[in-house]
A and B are shown apart, each in its own frame.
Chain A
Amino acid sequence: MWKWLHPYANPEVSYHFAGKLKPWLGLSSALLLTVGLIWALLFAPADYQQGESFRIFYIHVPSAILSMSIYLAMAIAALSSLVWQVRLADASAAALAPIGAVFTAIALLTGAAWGKPMWGTWWVWDARLTSELILLFLYLGVIALHNAFDDKQMAGKAAGILALVGVINLPIIKYSVEWWNTLHQGPTVSKLGAPAMASEMYWPFVLCFFGFALLVGAVACVRFQTEIITRNKMRPWVRNLVTSEVN
């Protein structure tokens, strides 16, 4: 496996690999999101209790799931950078942090806009909402640490340690609705097993989820490329690349 993975530890190979990947991720994301969001807004049935406000579900749940998955990916990258000294892992962790922060903010905002008509309040300090807010602060801390040092290696180390310490928050978010009796409802869709919802609501959700996930992939590719060239700006291949290509 190491023999197979080894070329991807080379920044130049990874840069071009990300470049090849990004149009496919971007296109498939645009396709899935167009179909998924039109389905969610126009054709999915209204909930029998929540009415049309249920349509917020189709962005709230995908972005909440992604906010945690991106954090896990970032923490794994931080771990491989700290333990195995994989240089590129720092670049991918730095690339993922702002994307995760945006999806966490979306989850919180849509949650507030859904909570107001359903619970009668924009915000409560319940376990699920508070732990998700802490996730946003963790992301902001990681971003701040990545930008706080001129030495990118030192920045990566500091941000990586914060990212790893913050992993403890992930199970707290996930199980908060089971451990504590909260205002937030329990999980509607579990990754494994049959969904506890009607199929005409489940499929647009699946499309939206994968649409957002592929969008994360496409944006991560571009940010990863940016991180690679800024970390390797003295290398001849980067210098040839930026001076030869127009785009």
Chain B
Amino acid sequence: MQFDSFASFLDMGGYAFYVWLSFGASAALILLLIFSTLFSHKNARANIARQVKREQRLQQAQAQANVSESTSQ
């Protein structure tokens, strides 16, 4: 352990601002990358699923229309 107390750890030998700026900014950027990656993956899947469902509904509606057309004749 290089530091005697928590306060001296936070102080970083007088370089607190620069050290914590580096670690903080890096952590923020990496977390942003991770979350945006997970979010866009989920989003992509949801978009494709929505499209599949829409097409299925369209097919169903078309099939029903065909059935009612043939019965009315």
Contact = CB atoms under 8 A, between A and B. Distances in A.
B59 interface: no
Contact of B26 (A51, A109, A241, A242): A109
B33 interface: yes
Given A238-B48, A242-B45, A222 B13 contact: no
B38 A222 contact: yes
Contact of A53 (B18, B40, B44, B49): B18
A34 to B, nearest CB: 13
B33 A99 contact: yes
A42 B1 CA distance: 6
A44 B41 CA distance: 38
A99 B36 CA distance: 11
Interface residues of A, number: 39
Interface residues of B, number: 32
B18 A117 contact: yes
B51 A233 contact: yes
Contacts of A63: 26
Interface in B1-53: 1-3, 9, 12-15, 18-19, 21-23, 25-26, 29-30, 32-34, 37-38, 40-41, 44-46, 48-49, 51-53
Interface of B: 1-3, 9, 12-15, 18-19, 21-23, 25-26, 29-30, 32-34, 37-38, 40-41, 44-46, 48-49, 51-53
Interface of A: 41-46, 51-53, 55-56, 59-60, 63, 98-99, 102, 105-106, 109-110, 113-114, 116-117, 215, 219, 222-223, 225-226, 229-230, 233, 238-239, 241-243
14 contacts: A43-B1, A43-B2, A45-B2, A53-B13, A59-B26, A102-B32, A102-B33, A105-B29, A110-B22, A223-B40, A226-B37, A226-B40, A233-B48, A233-B51
Q: Closest 5 CB pairs between A and B? A: A52-B13, A53-B15, A110-B22, A52-B12, A242-B49
